[in-house]
Homo-oligomer: A and B are copies of this chain.
Amino acid sequence: MGRLRRSERLVYITKYLLQHPGETISLNSFVTALGAAKSSISEDLALVKSALDQMGSGRVETELGAAGGVQYLPGREGERALALAWELSTRLSDVQRIIPGGFLYLTDIVFSPRVAAQVGEVFAARFHARRPDYVVTVETKGIPIALATAYSLGIPLVAARRENRVTEGSAVSITYVSGSSRRLQTMSLARRALPAGARVVIIDDFMKAGGTVRGLQELLAEFKAEIVGTGVLMATADPPEKLVRDYLSLLVLEGVDDVRQEVRVRPSSWLLEEGGEEP
């Protein structure tokens, strides 16, 4: 690109930061890419930082000095996280979503690219400070929100499989009891998918008794991973005691009643506490 005006540089820098979340970018790389003086780039960055900070959607961190750089950390906290949880609660508390057997249809929500991106921002904001190296999930419906969380944190995603795949080489498999259906299930992860001793955040779409996350914990123990956080999109109110402690859910499923045709989904209480009152 030729010599750019300030307005063009601001657009370029904003776009570059947004598309490289969690990555430290040196001032010099902007100097080279934009053909501007270091002092101009510094001023540009200050303007971008001030604007993004004001929007309250993530933040820009700058490190000064020769090895200095700038990093964008997407995030959705406080009232913006709560607004998302209310929006999803409303969409999910729809009797049309009741599946015979007392299940709730949430496939369209968890596979929505926009919803996944926004949920990923909430988890990224919560777990960034714990410095995870990987996001881990288990196929299938947790993958979109886990991918989005990993994207926002700037780290890779690892997905355990329900069966061992010959195309992934040697793998570690475990059997576990699904907490809700009480069925024996298998979960496996390729040896090469995760280095030993990694710091991981577990992300999944749904938790009832917590058997799946408990299974993932056991699987991850085989990789000597340190689990620094666990996030699920929705947890059921019942049973109140899960097999897993210390998890974060965005939504609580109070109940699905397919006789009375009632569904009740609400934001988790930590969101209500941090995000202010119901709008």
- Residues of chain A touching chain B, judged by Cβ–Cβ distance below 8 Å, are 1, 4, 6-8, 10-12, 14-15, 18-19, 47-48, 50-52, 54-55, 57, 99-101, 103-105, 107-108, 111-114, 116-117, 139-140, 143-144, 147-148, 150-151, 156-159, 161, 166-169, 190, 192-193
What B residues does A57 contact at CB under 8 A?
15
Query: Are A113 and B151 CB-contacts (below 8 A) given A8-B54, A12-B55, A55-B1?
Result: yes
Query: Are A111's CB and B156's CB within 8 A?
Result: yes
Asked if A108 and B193 sit within 8 Å, CB to CB, the answer is yes
Residue of B nearest to A193 (CB): B107
CB within 8 A of A15: which of B14, B156, B190?
A: B14
Known: A11-B10, A158-B111. A99 touches B147 (CB 8 A): no
Are B12's CB and A10's CB within 8 A?
no
B11 and A105 form a contact (CB under 8 A): no
**Is the Cβ of B113 less than 8 Å from the Cβ of A156?**
yes
| Contact between chains at B116 and A168 (CB < 8 Å) | no
Q: Is A147 in contact with B150, judged by CB distance below 8 angstroms?
A: no
- With a cutoff of 8 Å between Cβ atoms, the chain B residues found around residue A168 in the complex are 99, 103, 105, 107
List 10 interface pairs A-B (beta carbons < 8 Å), by A numbering: A8-B54, A10-B14, A11-B14, A14-B14, A14-B15, A15-B57, A99-B167, A105-B190, A108-B156, A108-B193
> Could you tell me the distance in whole angstroms from the C-beta of A154 to the nearest C-beta in chain B?
8
A1, A113, A116 interface centre (most CB from chain B within 10 Å):
A113
Across the interface, A111 reaches (CB within 8 A) one of B7, B10, B51, B147, namely B147
A193 / chain B contacts, CB cutoff of 8 Å: 107-108
User: Which chain B residue shows the least CB distance to A20?
Assistant: B114
Contacts of A99 in B (CB 8 A): 166-169
CA–CA, A111 to B136, complex, Å?
11
Given A107-B168, A111-B157, A7:B47 Cβ within 8 A: yes
Query: Shortest Cβ distance from A32 into chain B, in angstroms?
Result: 15
Identify the closest chain B residue to A150 (Cβ).
Answer: B113
Nearest B residue to A137 by beta-carbon distance? B111
Q: Which residues of chain B have C-beta atoms less than 8 A from A158's C-beta?
A: 111
Closest 5 CB pairs of A and B: A113-B151, A11-B51, A8-B51, A103-B167, A14-B14
Specify the chain B residue showing the minimal Cβ separation from A50: B8
Contact A159 B147 (CB under 8 A): no
**Contact partners of A54 in chain B: CB under 8 A:** 1, 4, 8
A112 CB, nearest partner CB in chain B, Å:
6
Would you give the shortest CB distance from A190 to chain B, in whole angstroms? 7
Among B1, B112, B148, the residue within 8 A (CB) of A156 is B112
Q: In the complex the two chains form, what is the Cα distance from A147 to B147 in whole Å?
A: 9
The distance in angstroms between the C-alpha atoms of A100 and B169, with both chains bound, is 7
